[in-house]
Every structure is written in structure tokens, then in C-alpha cells.
């Protein structure tokens, strides 16, 4: 039943986001629907995306109502990873990136009771949220925030299948920061764990190992090429004849 409620909420919320006209009225309609279907606490939980989609609607009465939903939903959001995932996406729809990033980090670092009771479900949503937001930040050129997400994601699980792809992304971010030595250190950290794949690891982890080796070797070649180029340029400037005036 809980999954059905989430589905209903997501469908209505998606409709709100997709609608470009009279979105505030649609959001309020969504609240009323939820009021009739769910209990007060559940309405607060599933109604939270409507608060965000409506852009914290401007009238004072609506703001009071929105604040009430947020306050009531706080504890539920902490216990339900799916809701925090949709909360992150709602913030991003409104271009409220700092708040979206905050929610991502909170989800990735969650140690709630429900996380311990159902760890696989939490891992699923942590991985989905971290990958989606981290990769989008990287694609948008927001490398600093992408690094925060990837580093938090790497702390969840030490297995090669989990860490290799995340650490590889960390290396790519460091390359974007023009820190090839730091990036190479990350790739070397992946390669140093090759023995872990002898008794375990999936083909995906082995692929990431090969990709890390290729990036590490490329950075080494690139560094040598740049050094050689600098030396040639320096020698050329020293050997240039000095023009004399008659």
C-alpha cells in the first residue's frame, strides 16, 4: 500500500512539474487529493513535492500551509529514501541547487533506523540518487558539487563493484580541476585493489579497472609529452640567434 501511495503522489507531482500554466492551482488540487486519500502525516510526506513545485506560492495563507506541510513531513522524509529522492528532484526543478545538494548528502550519509532495517532499499535509492545527481552536476560543469556527491557515495560501501565506478568519477573530476597527479593517485588506488577481483567482482568492476589503468597511463604519457614540449621550447629559445643592428 505504501508503494501505491508513492506512485500516486509521484504521478500527480509529475503532472504538476510538466504543467506550465496555472501550476499553483494544480499544486493546491494535489494537496486536496492527498488530504482525501491519506492521513495527515502521510499527506505531509507525499504533499511535500507539491510545496516545492508550487514555488513556495506567494500568498501568506499558502505559505503558512506550505510551512505546515514541510514541518510535518520532516520526520517522514528522514525515514523514507524514496521521498528524499523526489524531494531532491523537486528542488532541482526549481533551480534550488544548494538545497538539492544538501538533501543528496543527507540521503547518502543517512544512518536512520529504517536504513538499518532495510539496508538494500536504502542502498538502491542512495546509489540511484548519487549517480543521477552526481553525473548531472558533472555534465553541467559543476565539478565541485559533483565531487562532494561522489565522495559521499564512495563512503557507503567498500566493495569493488560499488567503489570502482565512483572512484573513477572522482578521478575524472580531479582531471577537470587540472590536478593530474591527484587523479592518477585515485586511479592507482583502484588498480591496487585488483587482487580483490580474484575471488569476487563483476565484469563491470573489471571494466572499471581497465578504464582506470588507461586513464592513469594516459595521464603519464600526457605529463611526459608536456615536459618534452617545454624542454624543446626552452632549447629553441636558447639557440635562437641574436639579431644585431648595423
Residue 183 included in any domain: yes
Residue 193 included in any domain: yes
Residue 237 included in any domain: no
Domain count within the chain = 1
d(CA 73, CA 148): 26
Residue 10 included in any domain: no
Residue 84 included in any domain: no
pLDDT at residue 209 above 80? yes
pLDDT at residue 233 above 50? yes
pTM value surpassing 0.75:
no
**Residue 171, domain extent:** 159-224
Residue 61 included in any domain: no
pLDDT range class, residue 62, cuts 50, 70, 90: very low
pLDDT range class, residue 71, cuts 50, 70, 90: very low
pLDDT at residue 193 above 70? yes
pLDDT single digits (tens) 115-141 = 677 778 888 888 888 999 999 999 999
Please provide the DSSP assignment of 110-149 as one string: ---HHHHHSHHHHHHHHHHHHHHHHHHHHHTT-HHHHHHH
d(CA 50, CA 31): 7
Residue 207 included in any domain: yes
pLDDT range class, residue 200, cuts 50, 70, 90: low
Residue 125 included in any domain: no
In the chain, DSSP finds a helix count (H) and a strand count (E) of 12, 0
Amino acid at each position: 500500500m505504501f508503494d501505491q501511495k508513492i506512485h500516486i503522489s509521484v504521478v500527480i507531482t509529475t503532472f504538476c512539474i510538466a504543467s506550465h500554466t496555472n501550476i499553483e492551482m494544480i499544486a493546491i488540487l494535489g494537496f486536496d487529493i492527498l488530504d482525501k486519500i491519506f492521513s495527515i502525516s502521510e499527506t505531509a510526506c507525499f504533499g511535500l513535492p507539491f510545496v516545492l513545485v508550487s514555488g513556495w506560492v506567494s500568498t501568506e495563507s499558502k505559505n503558512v500551509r506550505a510551512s505546515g506541510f514541510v514541518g510535518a513531513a520532516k520526520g517522514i522524509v528522514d525515514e523514507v529514501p524514496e521521498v528524499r529522492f523526489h524531494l531532491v528532484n523537486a528542488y532541482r526543478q526549481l533551480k534550488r541547487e544548494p538545497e538539492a545538494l544538501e538533501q543528496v548528502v543527507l540521503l547518502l550519509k543517512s544512518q536512520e533506523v529504517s536504513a538499518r532495517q532495510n539496508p538494500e532499499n536504502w542502498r538502491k535509492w542512495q546509489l540511484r540518487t548519487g549517480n543521477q545527481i552526481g553525473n548531472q552536476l558533472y555534465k553541467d560543469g559543476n565539478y565541485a558539487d559533483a565531487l562532494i556527491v561522489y565522495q559521499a557515495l564512495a563512503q557507503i560501501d567498500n566493495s569493488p563493484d560499488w567503489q570502482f565506478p565512483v572512484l573513477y568519477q572522482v578521478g575524472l573530476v580531479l582531471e577537470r580541476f587540472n590536478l593530474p597527479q591527484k587523479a592518477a593517485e585515485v586511479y592507482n588506488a583502484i588498480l591496487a585493489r585488483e587482487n580483490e577481483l580474484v575471488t569476487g567482482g563483476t565484469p563491470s568492476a573489471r571494466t572499471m579497472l581497465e578504464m582506470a589503468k588507461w586513464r592513469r597511463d594516459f595521464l603519464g604519457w600526457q605529463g611526459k609529452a608536456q615536459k618534452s614540449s617545454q624542454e624543446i621550447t626552452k632549447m629553441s629559445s636558447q639557440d635562437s640567434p641574436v639579431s644585431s643592428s648595423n
